[in-house]
Amino acid sequence: MLREATHRALADIAGYGANGVFVPLDDEREATDLPVRGVIPPELDGLYLRNSFNSHPSRRTPQPHVFLEDGMVHGVRIAQGRALWYRNRWVSTDGLAQVANRAPPGGPADRRWSFGNAANVSVVAHAGRLLALGETGLPYELNEQLETVGRCDFGGGLARSMTAHPKRDPATGALHGFGYWPRRPYVTYFRVDPDGRMARAEPVDVAGATVMHDFAVSERFAVFIDQPLLFERPPRPGGGLPFRWAPEYGSRLGLLDLHREGVPVRWFAIDTCFISHVLNAFDDGAQVVLRAVVSHPYYLTGMPRPHAASLSMHEWRIDTLTGRVSSTCIADSPGEFPRFDDRLTGRAHRYGYSTEIVLRHGWLACGGLFKYDFAKGAVEHRRFSEYEAASEAQFVPASEDSAEDEGWVLCLVYDARVDRSRLVVLDAQRFSGEEVASIELPQRVPYGAHGTWVERQALERATSPCR
């Protein structure tokens, strides 16, 4: 009852009504032949996945922070113009298995991973496998039916931890990632080959125990963000996340050479800020361009809430010859969870998307969507009803060789009037126009951070052991 009351209070604060997108689900279910309004493009053939924060009912009290709750992955299988099925499954992590008094998939827990991983932040596909990711610890492999297979360490190559935002190079198929940790080495970069085997791993010499949620890659460099969100020891009284904001630490961007091992990271000081999520990075001659969201760390540190949705899209240009860095606010629309055409990871791109963040009853919540046109310096606002909240947008190209803006934008939208979610399909070139299709889900999808679209062929390429 305490767990339910806490989440319903949070939902009321957010302005989502008596149930609300913050309230976790209590069971797993599935449904087939989902109702569809409009027409699903026949080219869409794959699996839409979304992770969410969803404490298991076996936990007697709520976690001290929503970001610590159990991961639950939701999936919608689309093919031949139909929504074949929806299902939701908890990620059976070591922590959840312990609470539920059952053996974790993949064998007993390894003490190296005692720091834990709720696997509740994102889900990605690589080397024919689905991986549920959190902030620390090992990923958890899922099968196509979203059942947990077990922990994944890429054939023994992942030594400590992996965060939720790896980047895949579209030319090589390699997966670039990193992990951070409250002990030395604080940050470790790694690269996983297309076959799922670890190919490179080396420490990144950050200044301290920084909380590095996201990073970027260009064709030449990995771009790291060393910023003053730090691990706190011991954690604050009363629980919450073990983080603190320490502006005296400063902020800087680091470039790690992707093609030469053992070369020290080159660091560049920038104005102190909190960079929450990265859109993309790319090379422009001798410059490396980074586009990312500047946000406010209050929801991670317990700082006083801002009076408005203080988010903006910024661009940094790092001149590798002179060492100078310039910074420009390129869009002041309050957008978070930025996405773009993944085929252009590490390459120059024109378009991007984000989720609108609005202030409701003193709490930041999701609203509509934004589309960025960086060539024109324009932002297009996609609105839903006042009772609806969009999630992270996902661009899906119409085909492998279609133009950057030719395709669809997929997004889960929660409707407080019926306490259910739907998967919306938008035409990227008619972003504010009529919905192409709306797939009705049998229940709500609780609040979460990230998801992905996985083409059917990507699930048929497993070539090496994940563990």
Residue 463: the pLDDT is 46
**Given a cut of 60, is residue 9 above it in pLDDT?**
no
What pLDDT does 309 receive? 59
Is pLDDT of 159 > 90?
A: no
The predicted pLDDT at position 310 comes to 76
Residue whose entry in the numeric block shows the structure tokens 């260009």: 218
253-279 mean pLDDT: 97
Distance CA 408, CA 426 (A): 5
Tell me the average pLDDT across 132-138.
Answer: 92
Task: Reply yes or no: is the peptide bond before residue 234 cis, omega within 30 of 0.
Answer: yes
Q: How large is the average pLDDT for residues 157-172?
A: 94
CA-nearest of 371, 364, 384, 443 to 50 is 443
Amino acid 361: pLDDT: 54
What is the overall mean pLDDT for the chain? 89
Alpha-helical (H) ranges within 77-234 are: 94-99
Task: Report pLDDT digits (tens) over 433-456.
Answer: 999 999 999 999 999 999 999 999
* pLDDT confidence bin for 2, thresholds 50/70/90: very low
Is residue 183 predicted with pLDDT exceeding 50? yes
Phi, psi of 121 (to 5 degrees): -100, -50
Task: Tell the burial category of 86 from Cβ atoms under 10 Å away from its Cβ (0-12, 13-18, 19+).
Answer: buried
Instruction: Please give the pLDDT value at position 7.
Output: 46
238 vs 190 pLDDT, higher one: 190
In percent, how much of the chain has pLDDT > 70? 86
- Calculate what percentage of the chain has a pLDDT beyond 90: 73
- CB neighbours (10 Å) of residue 125? 21
| 23-49 confidence digits (pLDDT tens) | 899 999 999 999 999 999 999 999 999
Say what the pLDDT of residue 267 is. 98
| Amino acid 10: pLDDT | 42
- Tell me: the pLDDT tens digits for 281-320? 999 999 999 999 999 887 788 776 665 557 899 999 999 9
Select the more confidently predicted residue: 123 or 21.
123
Is the predicted pLDDT of residue 226 greater than 80, yes or no?
A: yes
Distances (CA, A) of 220 to 6, 134, 268: 47, 27, 16
Residue ranges with strand state E in 54-104: 71-79, 82-90
74 CB-near residues (< 8 Å, 6+ apart): 49, 50, 51, 52, 86, 87, 88, 412, 441, 445
Read off the tokens for 212.
């590095």
In the predicted structure, residue 188 carries a pLDDT above the cut 80: yes
Radius of gyration of the chain measured on its C-alpha atoms: 21
pLDDT of residue 333: 93
This prediction's pTM:
0.92
The top-scoring range by mean pLDDT among 170-179, 232-241, 292-301 is 170-179
Q: State how far the Cα of 335 lies from the Cα of 244, in Å rounded to an integer.
A: 24
- pLDDT value at residue 29: 96
